Amino acid sequence: MGEKGERTKKMIREQAAALFAQKGFSMVTMKDICEATGLSRGGLYRHYENTAGIFEEIFLEMATENENLIDRRIKEQIPAMEILKEEMKFLKEEMLNSEQSLSYPIYEYANTVSRDLFEKLNEQGYQKWERLMAYGVSRGEFRKENTAAVITMILYAYQGIRMWSRVINIPEQAAEDYENCIIQLLQNGCRTAGTK
């Protein structure tokens, strides 16, 4: 596919992402996406077979872009804490900007269509954080004790705040609390189960 095709696919993903965020996965049809993009039915189906294909590509693209960014920053020898804070900035924006968040659609998708996508994203996310942790430990910035436990907190506290912020009014302070606790855990370590 040429450059023009790639541009069209990207435009489709962007328009579809806004619809998914607004209505959830199952309520968005290929017809809705035709209307939002201004493409004909044939024009849309030339690029994507169904909404699931678009949905999956949106997430896989975001994950890959984010991983590439972190790996590049590590290669540039940026301090791990700085990279962490950049990541936290994205996460906090998403937590507070819940209307555009795809947290509920991905949960719905995992519940109703396939859990494979989320399993894959979760695994990729985990590995990405592991690389950043190992880098921070190697630089003496993070304590090693149990970075795996901190990753659990990073991933699931984020999910909890994101999902609930679509429904109830979570104060902005919650996103700050999240960042501060994660930094604290990395600087002081987190006890392993064996040392209780």
Contact 25, 107 (CB under 8 A): no
Of positions 119, 127, 138, 139, contacts a copy of itself by CB under 8 A: 119
Q: Which of 122, 125, 128, 137 binds a copy of itself (CB under 8 A)?
A: 122
177 binds a copy of itself (CB under 8 A): yes
150 binds a copy of itself (CB under 8 A): yes
Helix, strand, coil abundance in the chain, percent, nearest 5: 80, 0, 20
Residue 190: CB minimum distance to a copy of itself, A:
5
**Secondary structure string (H, E, C) spanning 159-170:** HHHHHHHCCCCC
Question: What is the smallest separation between the CB atom of 65 and a copy of itself, expressed in angstroms?
Answer: 23
Q: Please state at what angle helix 51-75 crosses helix 116-138, rounded to 10 degrees.
A: 10
Q: Quick one: which segment of 30-38, 47-55, 57-65, 106-114 binds a copy of itself (CB under 8 A)?
A: 106-114
Q: Of 11, 96, 113, 190, which lies in the binding site for a copy of itself, with binding defined by CB under 8 A?
A: 190
| Binding flag, residue 45, a copy of itself (CB under 8 A) | no
- Residue 124 or 159: the one with the smaller Cβ distance to a copy of itself is 159
Task: List Cα–Cα distances, 93 to 2, 28, 109, 114, 176, in angstroms.
Answer: 34, 25, 23, 27, 11
Q: Which long-range contacts (CB under 8 A, 24 or more apart) does 114-119 make?
A: 114/52, 117/55, 117/56, 117/59, 117/60
Nearer to a copy of itself, 33 or 84 (CB): 84
The separation between the first and the last C-alpha atoms of the chain, rounded to the nearest angstrom, is 56
Positions that interact with a copy of itself (CB under 8 A): 104, 107, 110-111, 115, 118-119, 122, 146, 148-150, 152-153, 155-161, 163-164, 166-169, 173-174, 176-178, 180-181, 183-185, 188-193, 196
